[in-house]
């Protein structure tokens, strides 16, 4: 990689200048402004103090040293500002990028094995099966899925899981609501008045038992949730039943394990977990109520014991809504108490989403089902919409605007760029233009700023993916793919691949540029789970 070559050259130059101590790492970045060159380093600023030198002087010496023996592709090394060292490169470095992209292809370019085969489980959505998925509890479905794709590409082994809350009070409440509908009685307090319950009630012919009725309804609703997830290309490896944990001896075993460690006390007939010493801000939490039932927390700790100690995941990432924030510290305390390193569990809290029309709530009667959004704008736009922003951002979505501007949405912008690539290839085929092997093509003809901009974007993809994985921030891929689309539209507009005044040699070079862009779109869109259409 060019960055490593430049960093090595800088280190060599620093050593030649007897800088002591040598910086552990040379920071190289792409300046925001073109005048500042293609690559820039702040190493003189960063290292000067420790070495007892003047930053600007050190930068000047560095420039002199590097200019005397410039690394490959470097045509000029300049000093700027308070002591930046700016590298100006020949376009050949970008032609090398093109070759790298084509050599790597969709499967290989911008991949790393940084994850080292780490087995990562991502649990996301996990909404209670008491009603259809709505835009609130389904918003981070694309996030969890895309994060999995990014982690897979960076060398992790990913498993996607939906924790099915198929037991407990809300299932009984669902059953009671179903039976009430069935008998034509009013839905009980705290029940589920939704239309879907009435519809299900018509089909129910089981026993007059709230648990049985609730489980029957939950199973049906879960089928709908699966279909919704599939419709936006989210495929789970596991739908894990909470009941299977609670009905096994797993919870009791987990509590026993904690008790054996001396972390459980009994008071008022309840069993308490001494959670504070494991980082819980609260002194202690109930594991088993005085009525003998285990709490949700006890079940959740048992569930995570299962994830780590039974199923052997190296790392667990839970994607939860911000309204579950209160559970995090207790769960992590429980996991730690079981002897599991705290940094193996991550809880990513997605901020609540709201509608421009106001708060969404079941009681307000303005719940928008995810299915309806998918039906309106399609799965691609639905996915990209939620992948444009960080999950730390409490977004406001205006569904009316999303609908009316769906033709101008980012997804069309990006997909349109991709169809233009397909279009170029179609026209080339019609005109009998065949792409020669890349080794026979003079990529040195690619000198137009628009062409170089496309290649600059492609050169950044490996970094983008690496950072998106490390930060658990797949939206960075979405930002990148929009930038690539922007650059490609510019190229398309200003640089004809075939046409008047375009030499056969230039056509060949541009066909390869187009191919490298195609690979970039294919990688980026696949990571986002958005389709890359051939025509629109």
Partner RNA sequence: GCCCUCGUAGCUCAGUUGGAUAGAGCGACCGCCUCCUAAGCGGUAGGUCACAGGUUCAAUUCCUGUCGAGGGCGCCA
Q: Which of residues 448-507 bind RNA (CB under 7 A)?
A: 460, 463, 467, 470-471, 473, 475-476, 479, 482, 486, 489-490, 492-500
Tell me which of 82, 105, 186, 339 binds RNA, using CB under 7 A. Answer: 82
Question: Left if phi > 0, otherwise alpha if psi is -120 to 50, otherwise beta: which for 69?
Answer: beta
Contact status, residue 12 vs residue 19, Cβ threshold 8 Å? no
Q: How far apart are CA 69 and CA 91, in angstroms?
A: 19
Write out the binding residues for RNA, residues 370-389 only, by CB under 7 A.
388-389
Identify which of residues 196 and 416 has a Cβ nearer to RNA in the complex: 416
Go through 115-129 and write b for each residue having 16 or more CB atoms within 10 A of its CB, e for each that does not: beebebbbbbbbbbb
Q: Which helix (H) or strand (E) element contains residue 29?
A: strand 28-29
Give me the sign of the Cα torsion angle 169, 352, 476, 387. Answer: positive
363 part of the interface to RNA, by CB under 7 A: no
Tell me which of 3, 5, 36, 231 binds RNA, using CB under 7 A. Answer: 36
CB 192, min distance to RNA, A = 13
Identify which of residues 134 and 182 has a Cβ nearer to RNA in the complex: 134
End-to-end CA distance of the chain: 37
CB 194, min distance to RNA, A = 17
Tell me which of 105, 108, 116, 169 binds RNA, using CB under 7 A. Answer: 169
Tell me the CA distances in angstroms from 198 to 110, 179, 191, 342, 369, one per residue in order. 51, 9, 12, 45, 17
- Residues in a beta bridge with 370: none
Q: How far apart are CA 2 and CA 529, in angstroms?
A: 30
Of 38-46, 90-98, 192-200, 365-373, which segment contacts RNA by CB under 7 A?
A: 38-46
Of 93-101, 115-123, 267-275, 521-529, which segment contacts RNA by CB under 7 A?
A: 267-275
Among 316, 313, 301, CA closest to 250:
301
Identify which of residues 235 and 493 has a Cβ nearer to RNA in the complex: 493
Identify which of residues 185 and 427 has a Cβ nearer to RNA in the complex: 427
74 part of the interface to RNA, by CB under 7 A: no
Tell me which of 296, 308, 512, 521 binds RNA, using CB under 7 A. Answer: 296
Task: For Cα atoms 226, 227, 232, give the angle at the middle one, nearest 5 degrees.
Answer: 100
Identify which of residues 26 and 397 has a Cβ nearer to RNA in the complex: 397
33 part of the interface to RNA, by CB under 7 A: yes
Residue 516 neighbours by CB under 8 Å, 6+ apart: 97, 98, 101, 102, 454, 455, 458
Identify which of residues 323 and 341 has a Cβ nearer to RNA in the complex: 323
Q: 529 — phi, psi (to 5°)? A: 75, 25
326 part of the interface to RNA, by CB under 7 A: yes
Identify which of residues 316 and 377 has a Cβ nearer to RNA in the complex: 377
Identify which of residues 32 and 434 has a Cβ nearer to RNA in the complex: 32
Contact status, residue 461 vs residue 480, Cβ threshold 8 Å? yes
- Residues in a beta bridge with 358: 355
Sheet with 39-41, side-by-side order of all strands: 28-29, 39-41, 84-89, 74-80
Write out the binding residues for RNA, residues 201-260 only, by CB under 7 A.
242
Task: For Cα atoms 114, 119, 124, give the angle at the middle one, nearest 5 degrees.
Answer: 110
Pull the structure tokens for residue 172.
Answer: 């009984």
Identify which of residues 101 and 485 has a Cβ nearer to RNA in the complex: 485
Of 5-13, 82-90, 214-222, 338-346, which segment contacts RNA by CB under 7 A?
A: 82-90
Q: How far apart are CA 454 and CA 97, in angstroms?
A: 11
Q: 213 — phi, psi (to 5°)? A: -65, -40
CB 488, min distance to RNA, A = 8
- Residues in a beta bridge with 124: 319
Identify which of residues 455 and 473 has a Cβ nearer to RNA in the complex: 473
- Residue 203, number of CB atoms within 10 A of its CB: 12
Among 467, 321, 468, 464, CA closest to 395:
321
Pull the structure tokens for residue 510.
Answer: 């541009």
Of 137-145, 199-207, 348-356, 524-532, which segment contacts RNA by CB under 7 A?
A: 348-356
CB 339, min distance to RNA, A = 24
Of 58-66, 97-105, 107-115, 165-173, which segment contacts RNA by CB under 7 A?
A: 165-173
Identify which of residues 339 and 533 has a Cβ nearer to RNA in the complex: 533
Tell me which of 84, 124, 140, 512 binds RNA, using CB under 7 A. Answer: 84
Contact status, residue 401 vs residue 377, Cβ threshold 8 Å? no
CB 131, min distance to RNA, A = 13
Identify which of residues 189 and 408 has a Cβ nearer to RNA in the complex: 408
Write out the binding residues for RNA, residues 103-162 only, by CB under 7 A.
128
Identify which of residues 297 and 316 has a Cβ nearer to RNA in the complex: 297
Q: How far apart are CA 131 and CA 148, in angstroms?
A: 26
295 part of the interface to RNA, by CB under 7 A: yes
Tell me which of 57, 267, 400, 442 binds RNA, using CB under 7 A. Answer: 267
80 part of the interface to RNA, by CB under 7 A: yes
Write out the binding residues for RNA, residues 387-426 only, by CB under 7 A.
388-390, 392-398, 401, 405, 407-408, 410, 412-413, 416, 419-420, 423-424, 426
């Amino acid at each position: 990689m060019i960055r490593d070559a430049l960093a090595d050259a800088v280190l060599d130059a620093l050593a030649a200048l007897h800088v002591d101590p040598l910086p552990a790492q040379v920071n190289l970045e792409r300046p925001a402004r073109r005048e500042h060159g293609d690559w820039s380093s702040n190493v003189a600023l960063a290292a000067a103090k420790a070495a007892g030198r003047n930053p600007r002087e050190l930068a000047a010496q560095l420039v002199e040293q590097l200019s005397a023996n410039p690394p490959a592709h470097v045509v000029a090394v300049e000093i700027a500002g308070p002591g930046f060292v700016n590298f100006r490169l020949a376009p050949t470095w970008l032609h090398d990028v093109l070759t790298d992209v084509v050599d790597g292809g969709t499967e290989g370019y911008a991949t790393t094995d940084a994850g080292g085969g780490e087995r990562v489980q991502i649990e996301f959505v996990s909404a209670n099966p008491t009603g259809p998925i709505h835009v609130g509890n389904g918003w981070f479905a694309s996030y969890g899925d895309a994060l999995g794709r990014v982690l897979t590409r960076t060398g992790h082994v990913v498993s996607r899981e939906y924790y099915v809350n198929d037991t407990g009070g809300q299932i009984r409440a669902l059953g009671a609501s179903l039976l009430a509908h069935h008998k034509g009685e009013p839905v009980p307090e705290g029940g589920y008045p939704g239309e879907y319950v009435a519809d299900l009630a018509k089909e129910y012919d089981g026993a007059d038992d709230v648990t049985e009725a609730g489980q029957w309804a939950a199973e049906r609703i879960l089928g709908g949730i699966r279909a919704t997830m599939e419709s936006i290309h989210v495929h789970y490896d596991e739908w894990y039943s909470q009941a299977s944990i609670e009905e096994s001896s797993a919870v009791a075993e987990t509590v026993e394990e904690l008790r054996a460690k001396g972390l459980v006390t009994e008071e008022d007939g309840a069993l308490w977990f001494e959670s504070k010493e494991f980082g819980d801000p609260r002194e202690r939490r109930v594991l088993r109520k005085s009525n003998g039932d285990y709490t949700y927390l006890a079940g959740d700790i048992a569930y995570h014991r299962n994830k780590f100690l039974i199923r052997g995941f190296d790392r667990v990432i839970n994607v939860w809504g911000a309204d579950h924030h209160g559970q995090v510290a207790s769960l992590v305390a429980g996991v730690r108490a079981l002897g599991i390193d705290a940094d193996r569990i991550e809880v990513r809290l997605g901020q609540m989403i709201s509608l421009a029309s106001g708060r969404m709530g079941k009681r307000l009667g303005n719940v928008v089902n995810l299915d309806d959004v998918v039906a309106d704008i399609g799965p691609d736009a639905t996915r990209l919409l939620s992948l444009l922003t960080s999950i730390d951002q409490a977004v406001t979505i205006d569904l009316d605007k999303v609908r009316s501007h769906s033709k101008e949405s980012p997804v069309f912008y990006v997909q349109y760029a991709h169809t233009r690539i397909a279009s170029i290839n179609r026209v080339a085929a019609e005109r009998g233009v065949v792409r020669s092997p890349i080794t026979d093509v003079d990529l040195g003809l690619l000198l137009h700023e628009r062409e170089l901009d496309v290649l600059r974007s492609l050169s950044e993809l490996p970094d983008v993916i690496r950072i998106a994985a490390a930060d658990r921030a797949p939206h960075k891929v979405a930002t990148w793919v929009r930038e690539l689309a922007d650059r490609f539209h510019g190229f398309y507009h200003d640089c004809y691949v075939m046409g008047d005044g375009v030499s056969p040699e230039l056509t060949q070079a541009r066909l390869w540029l187009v191919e490298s862009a195609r690979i970039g779109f294919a990688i980026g869109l696949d990571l986002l789970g958005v389709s890359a259409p051939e025509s629109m």
